[in-house]
């Protein structure tokens, strides 16, 4: 099928489309999580907030991987599954993997802001002074 953007037959389903709702939630969560972290470290609660954020990040990351069963069902096709399974079982197996990926997207809208916060903090701690000296 030709569109104004070119040939869409080779694109995976869902690619090229922006999920504005998820993007807005991601931006909002990033703003709140990062903003609270920055506020808390100015109020001298750095130690407690850092450990709470590490625990939340770890719990979300582990939860996401475990819920999606280690991504073992990602990209699986019917011909990759054992012959001992019926076609209905194979389809249910594949559908379950896709359903889990879709249902767990909300975790990413929290996980990415926590990771962003830690990346910013690490860069500020270890690279911030060098950048400040470089540009001043």
Over the stretch 57-66, which tens digit does the pLDDT of each residue have?
999 999 999 9
Per DSSP, helices labelled H in the chain are 20-42, 46-67, 87-103, 105-126, 128-135
- Reading the block at residue 43, the tokens are 């109020």
C-alpha torsion sign, points 31, 35, 38, 41: negative
Q: Give the pLDDT of residue 57.
A: 97
Q: What is the pLDDT of residues 77-89, one digit of tens each?
A: 888 888 888 889 8
Q: What is the arithmetic mean of pLDDT over 3-11? A: 52
- Please determine, for residue 17, whether its predicted confidence score (pLDDT) is greater than 90: no
């Amino acid at each position: 099928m030709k569109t104004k953007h070119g040939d869409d037959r080779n694109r995976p389903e869902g690619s090229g489309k922006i999920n504005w709702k998820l993007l807005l939630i991601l931006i909002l969560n990033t703003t709140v999580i990062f903003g609270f972290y920055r506020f808390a470290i100015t109020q001298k609660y750095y130690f407690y907030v850092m450990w709470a954020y590490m625990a939340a990040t770890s719990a979300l990351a582990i939860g996401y991987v475990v819920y999606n069963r280690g991504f073992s069902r990602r990209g699986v096709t019917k011909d990759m599954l054992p012959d001992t399974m019926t076609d209905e079982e194979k389809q249910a197996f594949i559908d379950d993997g896709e359903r889990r990926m879709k249902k767990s997207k909300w975790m990413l809208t929290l996980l990415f802001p926590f990771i962003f916060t830690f990346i910013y903090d690490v860069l500020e701690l270890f690279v911030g002074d060098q950048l400040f000296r470089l540009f001043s």
